[in-house]
Amino acid sequence: MIAAFLQRFGIGGETPAARTSPATPPQEFDAVLLWSGLGLLMFGLVMVYSASIAMAEGSRFTGYQANYFLIRHSLFLAIGLVCGAAAFQIPLRIWQQIAPYLFILGVFLLVLVIMPMIGRSVNGAQRWLPLGPINLQPSELMKLFAVLYAADYTNRKLADMGSFKKGFGPMAMVMLLVGFLLLKEPDFGAFVVIVSIAIGILFLGGINVRVFGTLVLVLLIGFVILIWTSPYRRERIFGFMDPWQDAFGKGYQLSHALIAFGRGEWLGVGLGASVEKLFYLPEAHTDFLLAVIAEELGFVGVCVVVLLFALLIQRCFAIGKTALGLGRIYSALVAQGIGIWIGVQSFINMGVNMGLLPTKGLTLPLMSFGGSGIVANCIALAILLRVDWENRQLMRGNRA
Amino acid sequence: MKFSKSPVLKDELAPWRARLVLVLLLGCMAALIGRSLYLQAFNNEFLISKGESRYERTLEVPATRGRIMDRNGDVMAISTPVKSVWAIPEDARLQPAETRKLAQLLDMDVRELNRKLAEDKGFVFVKRQIPPELAERVMAMKLPGIHLQNEYRRYYPAGEVPAHVLGFTGVNDAGQEGIELAFNQQLAGQAGSRRVIKDRRGNIVEDVEHIKKPVEGKDVLLSLDAKIQYLAYSSLRKAVTDHRAKAGAAVVLDAKTGEILALANLPTYNPNNRTHLAGGQLRNRVFTDTFEPGSTMKPFTAALALEKGKVRFDTQIQTAPGKLSIGPATISDAHPHGVLTVAQVIQKSSNIGSAKMALSMEAADMWQMFDALGFGTPLKLGFPGEASGRLRPAKTWKPIEQATMSYGHGMSVTLIQLAHAYMVFAREGDLVPLLLTRANGPVSSDKNVFSAQTAREVRAMLEMAVLPGGTAPQAQIPGYRVGGKTGTAHKIEGGVYAKKYIASFVGFAPVSDPRLIVAVMIDEPSAGKYYGGQVAGPVFAQVMAGALRTLGVPHDAPLKPVQLGAEDQQVRESM
Q: Does B201 touch chain A (CB under 8 A)?
A: yes
Percent of chain A residues past pLDDT 70, beyond the cut: 89
Alpha-carbon gap: B168 to the closest alpha carbon of chain A (Å): 39
Q: How confident is the model at residue B575 (pLDDT cuts 50, 70, 90)?
A: low
Contact B253, B516 (CB under 8 A): yes
User: For the purposes of burial, counting CB atoms within 10 Å of the CB of B92, is it exposed (0-12), middle (13-18) or buried (19 or more)?
Assistant: buried
Cis peptide bond N-terminal to A186, omega within 30: yes
Cis peptide bond N-terminal to B514, omega within 30: no
**How many alpha carbons fall within 13 Å on the CB side of residue B65?**
28
Beta bridge partners of B249: B265, B521
pLDDT tens for each residue of B106-130: 888 888 888 888 877 777 888 888 8
**CATH for the stretch B64-221:** 3.90.1310.10
Interface of B with A in 129-148 (CB under 8 A): 144
Write down the pLDDT at residue A39. 94
Write down the pLDDT at residue B571. 62
Check whether B89 has a pLDDT greater than 90: no
Domain ranges of chain B: 64-221, 226-475+485-525
The candidate with the shortest Cα–Cα distance to B217, out of B104, B66, B112, B333, is B66
Alpha-carbon gap: A274 to the closest alpha carbon of chain B (Å): 10
pLDDT tens for each residue of B497-521: 878 888 899 999 899 999 999 999 9
Q: Tell me the average pLDDT across B549-575.
A: 74
Write down the pLDDT at residue A122. 78
> Looking at chain B, which residue has its C-alpha nearest residue A307?
B29
Q: How confident is the model at residue B2 (pLDDT cuts 50, 70, 90)?
A: very low
Asked whether the beta carbons of residue A324 and residue B93 sit closer than 8 angstroms, the reply is no
Write down the pLDDT at residue B94. 80
Label the pairing between strands B220-221 and B68-69: parallel
Write down the pLDDT at residue A368. 93
Write down the pLDDT at residue A26. 54
Higher pLDDT, A273 or B37: B37
Mean of all residue pLDDT scores within chain A: 84
Alpha-carbon gap: B128 to the closest alpha carbon of chain A (Å): 24
H or E stretch covering B300: helix B298-307
Asked whether the beta carbons of residue A255 and residue B50 sit closer than 8 angstroms, the reply is yes
Q: Does B567 touch chain A (CB under 8 A)?
A: no
Check whether A233 has a pLDDT greater than 80: no
Interface of B with A in 94-133 (CB under 8 A): none
The candidate with the shortest Cα–Cα distance to B250, out of B424, B529, B504, is B504
**Which site among B3, B5, B6, B22 would you substitute to test the A interface, given the most A Cβ atoms closer than 10 Å to its Cβ?**
B22
Write down the pLDDT at residue A5. 45
Q: Tell me the average pLDDT across A204-220.
A: 80
Q: Does A334 touch chain B (CB under 8 A)?
A: no
Q: How confident is the model at residue A197 (pLDDT cuts 50, 70, 90)?
A: very high
pLDDT tens for each residue of B379-413: 888 787 888 888 888 888 888 888 888 888 889 99
Asked whether the beta carbons of residue B51 and residue A259 sit closer than 8 angstroms, the reply is yes
Residue B102, SS3?
helix
Write down the pLDDT at residue A12. 41
Asked whether the beta carbons of residue A262 and residue B14 sit closer than 8 angstroms, the reply is no
Check whether B250 has a pLDDT greater than 50: yes
Contact A191, A179 (CB under 8 A): yes
Tell me which long-range contacts B271-275 makes (C-beta under 8 A, separation of at least 24).
B271/B154, B271/B156, B271/B159, B271/B160, B271/B163, B271/B166, B271/B167, B271/B168, B272/B155, B272/B156, B272/B159, B274/B168
Asked whether the beta carbons of residue A314 and residue B15 sit closer than 8 angstroms, the reply is no
pLDDT tens for each residue of A131-186: 877 788 889 999 999 999 999 998 888 888 777 778 778 888 888 899 899 888 88
In DSSP notation, B170-190 reads: -TTS-B-SHHHHHTHHHHH-B
Write down the pLDDT at residue A15. 42
B64-221 shares its CATH topology with B226-475+485-525: no
Write down the pLDDT at residue B130. 85
Q: Does A314 touch chain B (CB under 8 A)?
A: yes
Asked whether the beta carbons of residue B39 and residue A354 sit closer than 8 angstroms, the reply is yes
Write down the pLDDT at residue B570. 57
Least confident of A381-395, B190-204, B307-321, B468-482: B190-204
> Looking at this predicted complex, what is its ipTM?
0.87
Measured between beta carbons, the chain B residues lying within 8 angstroms of A356 are: 31-32, 35
> Looking at chain A, which residue has its C-alpha nearest residue B14?
A206
Higher pLDDT, A20 or A80: A80
Alpha-carbon gap: A207 to the closest alpha carbon of chain B (Å): 7
> Looking at chain B, which residue has its C-alpha nearest residue A324?
B12
Write down the pLDDT at residue B141. 83
Residue A191, SS3?
helix
Higher pLDDT, B204 or B534: B534
Q: How confident is the model at residue B417 (pLDDT cuts 50, 70, 90)?
A: very high
Q: How confident is the model at residue A300 (pLDDT cuts 50, 70, 90)?
A: very high
Residue B91 has its nearest CB partner, among A60, A200, A256, at: A60
**Which site among B25, B43, B90 would you substitute to test the A interface, given the most A Cβ atoms closer than 10 Å to its Cβ?**
B25
Mean of all residue pLDDT scores within chain B: 85
Write down the pLDDT at residue A307. 95
User: For the purposes of burial, counting CB atoms within 10 Å of the CB of B150, is it exposed (0-12), middle (13-18) or buried (19 or more)?
Assistant: exposed
Write down the pLDDT at residue B59. 75
Contact A74, A42 (CB under 8 A): no
Check whether A87 has a pLDDT greater than 70: yes
Measured between beta carbons, the chain A residues lying within 8 angstroms of B48 are: 259, 262-263
Q: Tell me the average pLDDT across B153-164.
A: 87
Alpha-carbon gap: B152 to the closest alpha carbon of chain A (Å): 28
Contact A369, A41 (CB under 8 A): no
Secondary structure of B54-98 in HEC code, one letter for each residue: HHEEEEEECCCCCCEECCCCCEEEEEEEEEEEEECCCCCCCCHHH
**CATH for the stretch B226-475+485-525:** 3.40.710.10
- By annotation, the residues of B acting in catalysis are 295
